[in-house]
A and B are shown apart, each in its own frame.
Chain A
Amino acid sequence: MPTTTAAAMGAAQRRVAGPSLARRLEANPFTWLVPVAVMLGVFYLYPILDVFRLGMTNASLVGSDERYTIVTLQAMFENPALLDILKTTAVFTIASVVGQQVFGLAIALLVVRGERRKLKGMVALRTVVLVAWVIPGIANGLIWQMLFSEAPFGAINSVLRMMHVSPVAWLSDPNIAMLSAVISNVWRGTAFSMIVFYAALKAIDPTLYEAASVDGAGHLQKLRFITLPQLRAAILVNSILVTIQTLNTFDAIISLTGGGPGRATEVLSLFTFNTVFRNYDLAGGSVLSVLMLVISLVLALFYASFMPRREVSE
C-alpha cells in the first residue's frame, strides 16, 4: 500500500472516530451545567421531593414508627381551621402586595422626579426607605409591637391621646390586628418595590415624555399612557416576587401578634410553622408546605401569563 493511501485512511478513521472524549465533553454544554444541576438537585430539589414524601407519611417529631399513609393529607384538608387560615392569608397577601406596589411606585416616582429636578436629598431618601428593607422580620415585628402597644405608654396611642383622639385597639381587635399586620409588612416591603420601579422608571425613554409634552399631555395622562404601560413587565415581575415573599412571611407576624387574637392573623406560613414546631407534626407541616408551593406556583403562572411577549422581529 502506498504511503499516501495509508495516511489518507488514517485521517479518514480519525474523522469517523471524531474528537477525543474529553474534547466532546468539553464541547457539550450539559457538561458545564452538571455542577449547577447537582448543587440545585442536592440543596433545592431533594428537600422539595422529601417534603412531598413526608407529606405522604405520618412522620412526627415525637413518634418513631414512620409509615406511608394518606391520613395526614386527609386530616390537613379536613381541618376546619384551614379555610379561615386561607382567607386570612389571602387578605394579608392581597393587601400587602397592593400596598407595597402602590407605595413603592409612589416613592420611586418621587425620587425620579426629584433627580430630574436635581433636588438635594434624593439619595438620602432612597437610603432611608431601604433601611426598612434590611431590618430582619422578627425585629420588624418587635418594632411595630412597641408602636402598636395598647398599654397606656404605647407609642402611637400615646400620640393619639395627646391629640385627644381615642386610642385604637391595634392588636386586640381581630379586624384591626390584620390591618396592623399589613401595615408592618408594607412598611418593610415597600423598599423592594421601590428599587424595582426605580430601575424600570430610569429605563423609560425620555423622548416619550418629551413627545407627550409636545402633544399637550398632563401629568396624569403621562402616568396613565406612558409610565404604567412601560412599567407593565416590572409590575408583573414585582407582583410575582412580592406575592411569594408575602406568602412566606411569618417571622414578622409571629413577633407582632403570634397569629392572634385567636386566629385573626394566623397566615398559612405561620400555621405551617406552628404545625411542625409547636405540634411536632412533621407530616402535617409537609402537606401545608406543599400547599404553599402549589399556591405560589399557580399565582406565579397566573402573573406570568400577563407578561408582554417579545415581538417576532426581535
Chain B
Amino acid sequence: MMRLRLVTALLASAAAFVAVSAHADNLVTKDRVGPADAPKSFTLRLTNDGPTSTDPVWAEGYQKLFSEFIQRHPGWRIDLERMSDNIGQEQARMLEQAKSGNGPDCAAVDSFVLALFKGANVLKPLDEYFTKEEVADLFPFIREGITGPDGKIYAWWWNTDLRVLYRNKEIVPDAPKDWAELKAAALASKEKGGEGVLFNGGRWEGTTFDWLANFWAQGGKLVDDKGKPIFAEGENREKFLKAVNYFKDLVDSGAAPKRVATIVNYDEFNAAAAAGTAALFIGGNWQYGQLKNTLEPEEFPKWTFSEIPGPTADQRSTGTGGWTFGAFSNDPEKVAMCAAVVKEIYAGPGNALQQQLPTAAALYGKYDVFKTEANETFAKALVNGQARPGVPIYPEISNQIQIMMGDVLSGTKTPEAALDAANTAVQAAFARL
C-alpha cells in the first residue's frame, strides 16, 4: 500500500512537472508569448533582439525574460512580429502602416529614424511610465533624441553603440591619436603584410555614419537649428572638405586599400581580422565581442581599441546609434504594456544579455558585464558621442554622402565637385519637404 502511494505520488509529481514544463515552453512560441486564449493581447514587432533571435544565446535569454514577464502579467498575450534584416525598408513600411493606423501596438524603432516617427505624430507619449529620475539618468543625447517638441518622451532608447578604432597591438603597438598618426600607422602595417586601415566606404548608412566622426570632431554641423542642410556653407564646407580629403588621402597614399569603396558591412572587418590581413579598422563597439568569438584564443588578446583619431589629438568624436521602443496603440493599456516590456525586459536585462551599452549611467554599475575594462572604456568614449541629426532631410544627406564618398574614393569626381553635387541634390530634396 505504501509502495502504491509512493508510486502514485511520483507519477503525479512527474505529470505535474511535465505539465508545468510544457506550460512554460508553450508560453513562448515563434509568434506568441503567453497563453493563446489570453483575454487581452498586443502586437510587438522586434528585430533580431528577441526570443526569435538567430543568436541561440540571445534567443534563449529572451525566451526566459519574456516567459517571466508574461507570468508577471496574467491575462495578457504578446503577438510577436519579426522584422527582416533590411531595416531601412522595414522602418519605412512600419511608418506607413502607423500613419494609416495599421501599425503594431509596440515596436522597435531605430534611433536613426526616430525623428521621422516623432514628426509623423504616430507615437504615444510614455512619460507616465517612467520617473523623472529615470529620464534624468539618460545620457543627454539619448534624452534629447526621445523628447518631442512638447517636452514629452515618445520612445525609450534602451541601448546605444559607438564607433572606435580597432588595432592589432603586435603590429600597431600605440593608439594613433590624430589623422597623421593613423595614416603613418596604416602605412607601417602595410610593410608587415597588412592591407592598411579599413573603413566603410560603400553605398550604405555605415559609410556616412562612420565618416561623420571626422566632420563632427572639427565642430562641423550638417543642419541648422531649423533642420536646414548647411554642411556645404561657410566654415562647414571647409570642415567637410577637410574630412573628405582625409579619407581620399588615406586611399591615394595606399594607407587604405581601394576596396574600402566596396565595404558595406562591418562583418568584413571581422573577416579581415580573422584572415590576418587587417591590423587597423574603424568598427562598432559590438565587434569586440564578435572578435572574441571569431578569432583564435591566442589571437584575440592581440586586439584592442581606442577612440577614433581626430584631426588633432584633442578633437574627437564618434557616432552613436542604438534602438528604441515606441508605442503606436490608441489603447492606454497596450501602451502601458509596451512601456513594461521596455522596463522589465530590455532596459537592463536585455543590455546585459546582449552586452549592448545601456543608455542610463546607473545601469553600468548594476550589471557585472558592464564593469569589464572594455565596456568601461566604451562608456567613457560615449562622452564624445554624437547622434545623427533627427531631421527629415537626414536620410537624403546620408544618401548623398555615400554617393560622394564612392565618387571621391574611386577618383570619378574631385571632393569639391562631389560636395557641390551632393549639396545640390540635398537642397532640391529639402525644398520639396
- Chain A residues with a Cβ under 8 A of chain B: 58, 60-64, 71-72, 75, 78-81, 149-153, 169, 171-174, 257-264, 274, 276-281, 284
- The residues of B that contact A277 with a CB separation of less than 8 Å are 88-89, 92
Q: Which residues of A contact B424 (CB under 8 A)?
A: 80
* Mask: chain B, 276-317; 1 = CB below 8 Å from A; 0 = not: 010000000000000000000000000000000000000000
Q: Could you show 18 A-B contacts with beta carbons less than 8 Å apart? A: A60-B433, A63-B433, A64-B99, A151-B272, A153-B275, A169-B258, A173-B258, A174-B412, A257-B203, A260-B203, A260-B261, A260-B262, A276-B92, A279-B399, A279-B429, A280-B92, A280-B116, A284-B432
Asked if B169 is an interface residue, CB under 8 A from chain A, the answer is no
Q: Known contacts A61-B92, A64-B121, A261-B406; is A150 also within 8 Å of B258 by CB?
A: yes
Report the separation of the CA atoms of residues A296 and B402 in the bound assembly, to the nearest whole angstrom. 29
How far does the Cβ of B400 sit from chain A's closest Cβ, in whole Å?
A: 10
Contacts of B433 in A (CB 8 A): 60, 62-63
Q: A172-B261, A173-B410, A260-B261 are in contact. Are A280 and B432 (CB under 8 A)?
A: no
Residues of A within 8 Å of B202, CB to CB, are 257-258, 260-261
**Bound-state Cα–Cα, A79 to B403, Å:** 15
Known: A61-B99, A63-B433, A274-B399. A81 touches B425 (CB 8 A): yes
Interface bin, chain B:
35 or more
CA distance A153 to B195 in the complex (A): 11
Query: Which residues of A sit under 8 angstroms from B204, Cβ to Cβ?
Result: 258
Having A169-B259, A172-B260, one finds 10 other A-B pairs with CB under 8 Å, namely A61-B116, A62-B433, A152-B277, A153-B271, A169-B258, A174-B412, A258-B202, A261-B203, A261-B410, A277-B92
For A62, what are the chain B residues with a Cβ–Cβ distance below 8 Å? Answer: 95, 116, 119-120, 392, 433
Asked if A261 and B399 sit within 8 Å, CB to CB, the answer is no
A35 to B395, CA, bound (A): 43
- What residue of chain A has the Cβ atom nearest to residue B399's Cβ? A278
Write the nearest CB–CB distance from A47 to chain B, whole angstroms: 15
With A262-B406, A262-B412 as known contacts, state yes or no: A151 contacts B96, CB within 8 Å: no
Alpha-carbon distance A61/B92, docked complex (angstroms):
7
Which residues of chain A have C-beta atoms less than 8 A from B392's C-beta?
62, 280
In the bound complex, residues from chain A placing their C-beta under 8 Å from that of B403 are: 260, 262-263
Residues in B112-150 with C-beta less than 8 Å from chain A: 116, 119-121
A172 neighbours in B (Cβ, 8 Å): 258-262, 409-410
Residues B196-251 near A (CB distance < 8 A): 202-204
- B195 A152 Cβ-Cβ under 8 A: yes
B174 within 8 A of A: no
Complex CA–CA separation, A281 to B410 (angstroms) = 28
Cα distance A277–B84 in the bound complex, in angstroms: 14
Interface class of chain A by DSSP = loop
Minimal Cβ-Cβ distance residue in A for B194:
A152
Q: Are B395 and A280 in contact (CB under 8 A)?
A: yes
A277 to B195, CA, bound (A): 34
Interface pair A150/B432, CB less than 8 Å apart: no
Known: A262-B410, A279-B396. A153 touches B95 (CB 8 A): no
Q: Which residue among B277, B412, B432 has the maximum number of chain A CB atoms within 10 Å of its CB?
A: B432
Main SS of the interface on chain B? helix
> Nearest 5 pairs between A and B by C-beta?
A258-B203, A261-B406, A262-B406, A262-B407, A150-B259
**CB-defined contacts of A79 to chain B, threshold 8 Å:** 425, 428
* B259, chain A: closest CB distance, angstroms: 4
Contact of A71 among B257, B396, B432 (CB under 8 A): B432
Report the Cα distance A60→B421, complex, angstroms. 23
Identify which of A64, A75, A151, A262 contacts B259 (C-beta below 8 A): A151
Contact of B120 among A64, A173, A258 (CB under 8 A): A64
Q: Is B340 an interface residue, CB under 8 A from the partner? A: no
How many Å lie between the Cα of A152 and that of B198 in the bound state? Answer: 13
Interface residue? B353 (CB, 8 A): no
- B59 CB–A CB distance under 8 Å: no
Q: A273's closest neighbor in chain B, by CB? A: B89
Q: Which of A75, A171, A174 contacts B428 (CB 8 A)?
A: A75
A273 to chain B, nearest CB (A): 8
CA distance A279 to B88 in the complex (A): 10
The CA of A64 and the CA of B52, in the complex, are separated in Å by 34
CA distance A36 to B412 in the complex (A): 51
Q: Which residues of A contact B92 (CB under 8 A)?
A: 61, 276-278, 280
* In the assembled complex, B55 has its CB within 8 A of some CB on chain A: no
* Interface membership of B24, Cβ < 8 A: no
Is A150 within 8 A of B264, CB to CB?
Answer: no
Q: How far apart are the CA atoms of A64 and B120 in the complex, in Å? A: 7
Instruction: Determine if B268 is an interface residue (Cβ-Cβ < 8 Å).
Output: yes
Query: For A279, what are the chain B residues with a Cβ–Cβ distance below 8 Å?
Result: 395-396, 399, 429
Q: Is B343 an interface residue (CB 8 A)?
A: no
> Which residues from chain B contact A281 at a C-beta distance below 8 Å?
429, 432
Please judge, given known A-B contacts A64-B121, A172-B262, whether A150 and B412 are in contact too, CB under 8 Å.
no
Smallest Cβ-Cβ distance to B407: which chain A residue = A262
- B413 contacts partner chain A, Cβ-Cβ < 8 Å: yes
A231 to B433 CA separation, bound complex (whole angstroms): 52
Contact residues in A for B262 (Cβ distance below 8 Å): 149-150, 171-172, 257, 260-261
Q: From known contacts A80-B421, A279-B429, infer whether A264 and B412 are also in contact, taking CB-CB under 8 Å.
A: yes
From the candidates A61, A149, A261, name the one contacting B412 in the complex (CB within 8 A): A261
Interface centre among A61, A63, A171, A172 (most CB of B within 10 A): A172
Check A258 against B264 for contact (C-beta < 8 Å).
Answer: yes
Give the docked Cα–Cα distance between A169 and B260 (Å).
Answer: 11
- Expressed in whole angstroms, the Cα–Cα distance for A227 and B432 within the complex equals 55
Interface pair A280/B95, CB less than 8 Å apart: yes
Interface positions of B from 368 to 419, Cβ below 8 Å from A: 392, 395-396, 399, 402-404, 406-407, 409-410, 412-413
Contact call B432/A58, Cβ cutoff below 8 A: yes
CB distance from A167 to the nearest CB of B (A): 10
Residues of B within 8 A of A81 (CB): 425
Chain A residues within 8 Å of B89, by CB: 277
Most central of A75, A169, A279 by chain B CB within 10 Å: A279
Instruction: Tell whether, in the assembled complex, residue A174 and residue B432 are in contact, meaning their CB atoms are under 8 Å apart.
Output: no
Shortest A270–chain B CB gap in Å is 9
Chain B residues with Cβ below 8 Å from A153 are 271, 275, 277
CB pair B120 A260 closer than 8 Å: no
Question: Are B432 and A75 interface neighbours, CB within 8 A?
Answer: yes
For B261, the chain A residues whose CB sits under 8 A away are: 171-172, 260-261
Docked Cα-Cα span, A75 to B432, in Å, equals 8
- Nearest-CB distance from B29 to chain A (Å)? 27
